[in-house]
Amino acid sequence: MKQPNGGYISSVICLVALILLFSSCSKKDKELNGLSPTPNVKEMTNYLVSQGFDEQHIVFDKDRVVIESDIIMTLPDLEQRVATWKREQQSGVPQTEQRRNTYIVSNVYNTNIKFYIDPAVPASWRTAIQGAVNNWNAINGTRLGMSIVANQASANTRIFMGFESSNWIARAYLPGSDSKPGVTVEINSNFNNLEASKKLFALTHEFGHTIGFHHTNQTSGVLIPGTPSVDPNSVMNSFVLPWNGFTSGDILATQILYPQ
C-alpha cells in the first residue's frame, strides 16, 4: 500500500509536530517534578573507590552497580551511602567501624535470614542452596542463622536464575543501607553443569555477600580486625574452589560480625 506524496509530506509534518510536542512535554515534566536527576556517577565512583573497590571493576547497569563481577548495589542504596559518606567527611567523623555497620545485617534479621527459591531453579542448584544454608548455620559462636522459606512474601532474599554468557557463576546484593540482607542472589544458568562441590562453594560465597562480606582476595571494605589479610582458601575469595569447609579466618570473621 502506498500513500500519495501530499499525504507523505503531511505525515512528515505531523511527525515533526509530534516529536516537538513530546520533547517539550518531557522537558516540562523534568522541570515540574525534578524527581530523577541523573545519578552522579562520578561521585558514586569516588565513593566506591574510597571503599577500596578498583574503578575498573565497577560497572553501572541501569538502576544498579555491579562490582568485581558478582557484588551488586542498587543506585538508591548507593545514593544513601554517598550521602552518609559525605556527611562523615564534612563532620570529620573517623570512618572506621561505623561505616561497616552499613554493610551488615541488623539483629532484627540476622538470626533467621529467609531465602526464597524461585520455581525455575533446577534441583542441582537447590541442593547447593540447602547446603549453603547448612554451612552458615553450622558455624558456632555466632548469632547468624538462615532458612529457606516457601513463601516469597515472607522472604528477605530471593534466589533466581539468570543467564549471561560471561564468567560470573552467581551474583548477589550486599545488605542495603537499611541493614536488611541483600535482596537477591542470581544464578547464571550458563554454569548449570558446574560440579556439585563448586556449586556449593559458589552459593555459600554469595550468601556471604548478602550478609555483608566483601572479597578476601581484594582490598575493598574494612579488614575485620584479627582475621588474616591473606587467606587463599577463604570462601570469600572471588574464584570458585571445590567446597572444602570454611577457613578459620571465615569462621572468625563471622563470629566478629555477628557475635552471639
Q: Which of 198, 102, 196, 206 is nearest to 160 (CA)?
A: 206
Taking only Cα atoms into account, the Rg of the chain, rounded to an integer number of angstroms, comes to: 23
In the complex with Zn ion, the residue whose CB is nearer, 70 or 250, is 70
In the complex with Zn ion, the residue whose CB is nearer, 70 or 231, is 70
> CA of 106: how far to CAs of 102, 169, 192, in Å?
9, 28, 33
DSSP bridge pairs for 117: 159
Question: Which range touches Zn ion (CB under 5 A), out of 7-15, 62-70, 192-200, 216-224?
Answer: 62-70
Count of residues touching Zn ion (by CB under 5 A): 1
CB of 231 to Zn ion, least distance (A): 14
Question: Which range touches Zn ion (CB under 5 A), out of 29-37, 54-62, 70-78, 85-93?
Answer: 70-78
CB of 217 to Zn ion, least distance (A): 10
Tell me how far apart the alpha carbons of residues 25 and 70 are, in angstroms, rounded to a whole number: 39
Tell me how far apart the alpha carbons of residues 10 and 99 are, in angstroms, rounded to a whole number: 61
Question: Which range touches Zn ion (CB under 5 A), out of 44-52, 63-71, 78-86, 143-151?
Answer: 63-71
Q: Which of 176, 187, 72 is nearest to 118 (CA)?
A: 187
Residue number of the CB atom closest to Zn ion: 70
Work out which of 70, 77, 231, 250 binds Zn ion, going by CB under 5 A. Answer: 70
In the complex with Zn ion, the residue whose CB is nearer, 69 or 95, is 69
In the complex with Zn ion, the residue whose CB is nearer, 31 or 55, is 55
DSSP bridge pairs for 158: 116, 184
Assigned C-alpha cell, 107: 539483629
CB of 150 to Zn ion, least distance (A): 27
Question: Which range touches Zn ion (CB under 5 A), out of 19-27, 47-55, 68-76, 196-204?
Answer: 68-76
In the complex with Zn ion, the residue whose CB is nearer, 70 or 186, is 70
In the complex with Zn ion, the residue whose CB is nearer, 70 or 77, is 70
Cβ neighbors of 201 (< 8 A, separation 6 or more) are 235, 240, 241, 242, 243
Residues numbered 137-196 forming contacts with Zn ion, rule: CB under 5 A: none
Please calculate the CA angle 224-226-228 and round it to the nearest 5 degrees. 85
CB of 59 to Zn ion, least distance (A): 14
Give alpha helix (H) positions in the chain.
5-33, 41-50, 75-91, 97-101, 123-137, 196-210, 248-257
User: Which residues lie near Zn ion (CB under 5 A)?
Assistant: 70
